[in-house]
Structure 1
Amino acid sequence: MPSQVQKTTVLHLASGSGPIARTILSTPLRDASPTEIPIIDLSALSNPNSTLPDRKAIASQIRAAATTNGFFYIKNHGVTQSLISSAHSASLDFFRQPPELKELANSIHSAANTHMVGWHPPKTQKVNPFEGIDKRESFSFHYDPARDPDAVLPVPPKIKEGIRVDSDGFPFSRTDATVPQLREGLIPLYQEVLRLGRKLVKCFALALGLDESGFDAKFSYPDAALAINYYPPLEHSAHAEPKDVSVGSHTDFQLFTVLLQDDNGGLEVLTRDGQWLRAPPVEGTFVVNFADYMQRITNDKWVSTVHRVRNVSGNERVSIALFFGFNRDESCGVLESCLEDGEEQKYDEISCREWVERRIKNMNIEIEGEGPKDIV
């Protein structure tokens, strides 16, 4: 008797190479298993007595996750619960304000007029041009060496040209009058996760067959931005999936993302074979996923995984994401350690700045008449 053909659908989304498509299995959404999105213990990274073999053991687990689905949880990461709770509470205080107060931190109407900084009102973001408008609002800010506890100051002129400093202290200069706790809650958390990011970069170098400090020079003044997302609950029923998305299907841009979820869930991850998985909150953990630039420099060995958010919890949801990349003026080609004998490089070297600008441009493509270019 012939085997039954698996039903599929097609998902269209943007990429750095233009519109692409993914084949999606029509199997029910389910929770990820521990092998699909593992939990990795980072205790050794905070232990001053840890040895190189201890850290290589973590790197080995990261490499396995990177080459499977590109997502993993981290526990014993060193960021205290008090910092996380303060940031979460301050974020809710900000988003629960009337729109006219949040509007003060809207970069479109500010003197700073800085791209992707400050408050982004509802119905203003569409991360996937082939899906509906994201059902969220957000607040974000750029990397600033003055906020980096480990930055060398003053910043070298060549580096300084590539840093997107928020002018006049924006956006916090516009929020301090109404929610001073936002600055007080977010900056200390940002600094600790920035330190965590540097520890992870050393592990990634080991996992890629490099010296532990192999990426340090490229990560001295990183493209490390923070975004808080606020999601109202989506309308749905027990028998029907929601028609809307909280954040549309996408991949991240640079190296990796560290995500702080609350208890409500909503993050969904697409496997290589096209199965949607829930990545539910796990107490005491952050979620880490790899992004497009990392996939490029590993010649597709490490996965920049498609993911989305659908808040079907019935509650308001807040997440805090830190997006990490090399210094914006840096460039990196395919790593020799990621090439098998005789294997050719799939990608040319490109600067981080150029890559991010290309990704942003392709999020704003004209959809009508523009079909997908390939299947990835």
Structure 2
Amino acid sequence: MPHADTPHTDAPTTSAVPPFDVPVVDISAYTAGGSAADRAEAARQMDIACSTVGFVQILGHGVPQAAIADLAGAVDDFFAQSLDEKKGHRAPGNRGYTPPKSESLSLSLGLESASRMNDFFEAFNIGAEARWYPELDLSEDDYGINVWPDIPDFRPRIEAYYDHAARVARTLTTVFADALDLPSDYFECLTDHSVDVLRMNNYALPEGTVTLDGELTGMGEHTDFGLVTVLWADRVAGLQVLGADGVWHDVQPLDGALLINLGDLTARLTNDRWTSTLHRVKPPIVDGTIKRRRSVAFFHDGNIDATIATLPSHLDADDGLAYEPITVRDHISAKLAGSRQGKANTAAVREAGRVLAAAKGGVA
């Protein structure tokens, strides 16, 4: 199985620790009509990747390069607006514009003081709306109404990519089901009205808006909340993943690849045999300026009313039941209350412990 190069770490590794790398899995057997044997091999490789790293580079995803180019152009058009224009697109819930330093993702793990929101990024979110599912009694508190800027062709460019990312996420859950020896449609009952969000992130802000004091956080240490995240990102340094060696490693996407990472809910399903990997963004500072970095994350989080419980086949993965069943709503609410409202998430004990071990130079 090929792997992506990751040339930099926060600290040197020793000969006793295997080199950190992000596995590459080609899923074209699922997207382009491969044989049963080819699908089984892709699922086998996915199982290895999810068990060892929790981040995966995927090829064969079928997203056209033109759709990615249109996405990048739309992101540029939105963030090129003035701060006042962007603030005009703030919206309730997990929608619209988020200004810089209004979130602290590490609080979703209960890690730091709530007195300051540190994260440097700005973002714009769209996602699944309640009215997409008229047959269900869904609340707009969970499935908010999208707001759209008056930018030429912005909405169709974003919606086109959203559809591709949603398809990739659904394909991945089929791969996951096969890898876990479940019925191929196992995840459908958990995701047929998934509370999905597409978040566009920007890490380059106008001069003078921040103090470059060496303590700047692009995006704090966190795990993603849901089932799986599909990430498009610039090939610019910044994204770091916490390895099993307790060291933060730089990760850059391969040309033509999408990054995926597992969320907390998939870790709960597998009793942590599959890893919800801690990651962060450290904005590169060159000669006192921030180098531009963009990313777009599609969060496939599951139905808001779904209950996530450890798979029976994985109850012995950690000497018995490690996680109590939880609804998607309750889990996401606790995480968002940390990152956006300054309320430390005291339930995220395992994730916080891994971060603290890394900060002390220990092995998580």
Equivalence for 2:70: 86
| Aligned twin of 1:115 | 93
Please, which of 64, 73, 76 is the counterpart of residue 57 of structure 2? 73
Partner of 1:356: 332
Aligned equivalent of 2:122: 137
Equivalent positions of 1:320-359 (< 5 A) are 320-340=296-316, 343-359=319-335
Which range is displaced more, 214-223 or 34-43?
A: 34-43
Range 183-192 or range 353-362, more displaced? 353-362
From 136, 156, 165, the equivalent of 1:157 is 136
Equivalence map 1:160-199=2 (5 Å): 160-161=138-139, 164-167=142-145, 170-172=146-148, 175-176=149-150, 179-199=151-171
Code of the residue aligned with 2:129 in structure 1: it is D
Answering whether residue 191 of structure 2 is matched by residue 223 of structure 1, we say no
**In 2, distance between residues paired with 1:341 and 1:316?**
42
Pick aligned residue for 2:28 from 27, 38, 43: 43
- Report how far residue 265 of structure 1 moved: 2.8
Give per-residue Cα distances to partners, 1:222-257, cap 9 Å, x unaligned: 12101000002799xxxx994211101111111111
What do residues 118-148 of structure 1 show as CA deviations (whole Å, max 9, x unaligned)? 111122121124286111111001213777x
The aligned counterpart of 1:266 is 238
Q: Secondary structure at the match of 1:320?
A: strand
- Alpha-carbon contact 1:145-1:155 (below 8 Å) kept: yes
| CA displacement, residues 94-129 of structure 1 (integer Å, 9 cap, x when unaligned) | 10111222122112xxxxxx2121111122121124
> Where in structure 2 are there 5+ consecutive unaligned residues?
1-8, 355-364
Aligned residue among 76, 84, 104 for 1:126: 104
> Which residue of 311, 319, 334 maps to 2:295?
319
CA contact (8 A) 1:266 1:311 kept: yes
C-alpha change, 1:256 and 1:87, in structure 2 (3 Å) is same
Counterpart of 2:325, as a letter, is E
Cα gap change, 1:191 to 1:347, in 2 (>3 Å): same
User: Retained in 2: the 8 A contact 1:269–1:308?
Assistant: yes
After superposition, the C-alpha distances for 1:71-107 in whole angstroms (9 at most, x for unaligned) are: 0100121000100011111111110111222122112
**Where does residue 47 of structure 2 map in the other structure?**
63
Check whether the contact 1:127–1:250 (CA below 8 A) recurs between aligned residues.
Answer: yes
Q: How does 1:267-282 map onto structure 2 within 5 Å?
A: 267-282=239-254
Letter in 1 for 2:277: T
Q: RMSD in angstroms over aligned alpha carbons?
A: 2.9
Q: Is the 8 A contact 1:67 1:301 kept in 2?
A: yes
Amino acid at match of 1:143: A
TM-score, structure 2 as length reference:
0.80
Unaligned 5+ residue runs, structure 1?
1-24, 108-113, 148-153
Cα distance in 2 for partners of 1:28, 1:246 equals: 23
Task: Look up the equivalent residue of 2:122 and give its one-letter code.
Answer: E
Asked if 1:251 corresponds to 2:223, the answer is: yes
User: For residues 146 and 180 of structure 1, do their structure 2 counterparts lie closer, same or farther at Cα, with a shift above 3 Å needed?
Assistant: farther
Q: Secondary structure of the equivalent of 2:142?
A: coil
SS, match of residue 268 in structure 1? strand
Shift of 1:203: 0.6
Distance 1:166 1:206, change over 3 A: same
* Correspondence for 1:308 among 275, 280, 302: 280
Asked which structure has the greater CA Rg, the reply is 1
SS in 2 for 1:89: helix
Instruction: Give the CA deviation at 1:43.
Output: 1.3
Structure 2 residue matching 1:289: 3-state secondary structure: strand
Scaled by the length of structure 1, the TM-score of the pair is: 0.78
Q: CA deviation at 1:353?
A: 0.7
Deviations 1:2-36 (A, max 9, x none): xxxxxxxxxxxxxxxxxxxxxxx97249xxx9963
Are 2:172 and 1:200 aligned? yes
Q: Partners of 1:293 and 1:116 in 2: how far apart?
A: 19
Cα 1:296–1:341 shift into 2, 3 Å: closer
SS in 2 for 1:92: helix
Structure-2 change in CA distance of 1:80 and 1:208 (3 Å): same
| 2:277 equivalent to 1:299 | no
Q: Is the 8 A contact 2:93 2:141 kept in 1?
A: no
Return the offset for 1:161.
Answer: 4.3
For the residue of structure 2 that corresponds to 1:287, the secondary structure is: strand
Q: Provide the aligned length of Structure 1 versus Structure 2.
A: 322
Task: Determine the C-alpha separation between the residues in 1 that align with 2:131 and 2:247.
Answer: 43
